[in-house]
Amino acid sequence: MATRLRGYAVCFDVDCTVTQQDSLDLLAEFLGRGEQVATITNKAMNGEVSLEEALKDRLRIIDCKPEELASFIQAHPPSSRLTKGIRELIDGLQARGKAVYLITGGFRELTLPIARELGIPAANVFANRINWQVDDETGLVTRMVGLDERELTSRQGGKPAAIALLREMYPYETVAMVGDGITDLEAVQITGGADMFIGYGGIVVRDAVRDGADWFVDDFDDLTQALKRHQVAFIGSGAWACAAAKLVAYNCKLSSEGTGEFAEAVRMWVYEEEVGGRKLTDIINETHENVKYLPGISIGDNIVACPDLLDAVKDADVLVFCTPHQFTRDICRQLRGKVNPTAVAISLTKGMRVRAEGPQLISELVRKNLNIDCSVLMGANIAKDIGNEELSEATIGYAVPSNGELFKRLFETPNFYVQLVPDIAGAEMAGTLKNVVALAAGFVDGLGKGPNTKAAIMRAGLNEMRSLAERIYPTVRDETFFESCGVADLIATCYGGRNRLVAEAYVRAYQSGFPKSFDILEAELLAGQKLQGVLTSDEVQSILQIKGWETEYPLFTTVNGIVNGLLPPVAITTYKSAALQSQPQA
């Protein structure tokens, strides 16, 4: 049996599972009728009598008044009745974003106090209801007179029926049922019910339950231990990687202080280099700061810099890729066969790989090479601002909803908002193509043009971004471009990104009569960071040339003509006609 509990929704039986005793049996004992009721309960749990028959017979014998029920709850408060380890297990599940339900053949009047004690919403409780008799003269409730037979749990097959109803309401990938009785085992034996049954024998062991369980435990600590905390590894250590790692470090530390899902230490692969005669990894581990790429920002004392790539990813089951996109393929080749096969990944890298058969996004490259799911995080993410804890946001594009939710919990902080979209290609293409538009914005700034020109360039750029993305990937959603990964990222990059900065410097050097190449400007202005826009422009233009689409994307074509010296920077102000004159080279 696997050692990790993977249910996205976990449903618990209550009596003799969540609580140490059967609630009706305990109530009957409180009223002096315990022996008779316990006999019927055991027959039902062993499958000797039907659930419906047992419920009716037990209620008939108990014959409880409202004041007696209130006295019982006061005498047996929920905190005194919980099974050892159940609170920690449910806390751990909820901290990991798992939905927790109580599904019981018992009654709401007895179950809701237990749910409140465990922090489970009343809406997540499936239980029977007692029918109460009301005195016609006083209007007061006098005694119980049976059960409401409309409730799913009032009859045989009620638990799988309740789970089937949950599946209709919510897109749960996996539902686990935990319980001690035959009716709990039944939940996994009927189509539409649970995917997995965990038998619990800490109070009573029933042979049929033990033999039919996917996993049988007699101590909830075993399940709590199975909720292994995710080990996160960062692949990359540039400015954006360090800013993002700071977010993750914050959440991992917070998680480790409670029953959260993430291990505290976050390993980060750092391409080793010397800064001031010292190894960069040593500096990061001692000062908790990347003095070369994100100076003045503490990224967290739980970040562990590792110079060895394989050491960084060892035992990790959450991988965060954040390296210059031209290096990702080689990194994936080194990692092939070396990562946890159950790991999940997310790419923060903006760029694409051009092949004869078409472009390959970085998430596709990771997915293909490592055979693991890969989401993407894109958005208006100027590294220094995030490092300074200014309000920022991002978009996570996902294919597997539970992985999207996992990464949202990993990255979102009080200062960093995250939205989810089921559109990996759209989010990634938006994040990639905006770097080309940022070059255009930098050319406009270098020419000294005003906001009208810059706005016109940005609008045209957004239009070409959206059009090209949807043309290459028909599944791309138009609305994705209105998320942070689209228009917000475009605005931020066109005003504050390094592509805009270098493009502006390129124009000023050109106009001065002492032009400088983008490689020289990259070295002078970016302190070792890589300029992605020029490479992305060449990659995009290769695609346009292969498809014969150059004139249909005049802004992209004109930008590429400028970066390759085929057009003067001023051509950006007449990009529609300039594109017809340019003959860009891949």
What pairs with residue 99 in β-bridges? Answer: 9
Written as six digits, the tokens of 297 are: 């920002």
Whether 275 contacts 294, CB under 8 Å: no
Give tens-digit pLDDT for 237-279. 999 999 999 999 999 998 877 667 898 999 999 999 999 999 9
SS3 string, 240-304, reads HHHHHHHHHHHHHHHHHCCCCCEEEEEEEECCCCEECCEEHHHHHHHHCCCCCCCCCCCCCCCEE
Per-residue confidence (pLDDT) for residue 583, from 0 to 100: 54
Per-residue confidence (pLDDT) for residue 7, from 0 to 100: 44
pTM of the full structure: 0.68
DSSP code string of 161-202: HHHHHHHHHS--S-EEEEESSHHHHHHHHSTTS-SEEEEE-S
Nearest one of 256, 275, 434 to 351, comparing CA atoms: 434
Average per-residue pLDDT in the chain? 89
CA 77/CA 74 separation, integer angstroms: 6
- What CATH number did the domain enclosing 384 receive? 3.40.50.720
Q: What is the pLDDT averaged over residues 20-26?
A: 87
Respond yes or no: is residue 454 known to be catalytic: no
Per-residue confidence (pLDDT) for residue 6, from 0 to 100: 40
Q: Which residue has the higher pLDDT, 438 or 136?
A: 438
Q: What is the pLDDT averaged over residues 336-355?
A: 88
Among the residue ranges 209-223, 344-358, 413-427, 569-583, the one predicted with the least confidence is: 344-358
496, 515: one domain: yes
Q: Would the pLDDT of 36 be above 90? A: no
296, 405: one domain: yes
155 in helix, strand or coil? coil
Q: Would the pLDDT of 413 be above 70? A: yes
216, 307: one domain: no
Q: 377, 407, 422: which is the final residue of a domain?
A: 422
Contacts for 370 with CB less than 8 Å, ≥ 6 apart: 332, 335, 336, 339, 343, 345
Question: Where does residue 513 rank: exposed (0-12), middle (13-18), buried (19+ CB within 10 A)?
Answer: exposed
Range of the domain at 267: 231-422
What pairs with residue 416 in β-bridges? Answer: 392, 413
Q: Which residue has the higher pLDDT, 133 or 13?
A: 13
For residue 2, tell me if it sits in a domain: no
For residue 572, tell me if it sits in a domain: yes
510, 567: one domain: yes
111, 240: one domain: no
For residue 365, tell me if it sits in a domain: yes
48, 128: one domain: yes
Measured in whole angstroms, the distance separating CA 447 from the mean position of its chain's CA atoms is 43
Highest mean pLDDT among 57-66, 149-158, 442-451: 442-451
308, 417: one domain: yes
For residue 1, tell me if it sits in a domain: no
Q: What is the pLDDT averaged over residues 105-121?
A: 92
53, 177: one domain: yes
For residue 3, tell me if it sits in a domain: no
263, 376: one domain: yes
**How many structural domains are present in the chain?**
3
Query: Any idea which residue has 């042979």 for tokens?
Result: 207
What would you report as the CA-atom Rg of the chain, rounded to the nearest whole angstrom?
31
Query: Any idea which residue has 């490259």 for tokens?
Result: 365
330, 462: one domain: no
**What are the distances in angstroms from CA 298 to CA 102, 282, 293?**
44, 15, 12
Q: What is the pLDDT averaged over residues 286-311?
A: 95
Catalytic residue (one of 98, 292, 408, 434):
434
DSSP code string of 105-141: EEEHHHHHHHHHHHT--GGGEEEE-EEEEE-TTT--E
Beta strand 99-107 with 9-12 is parallel
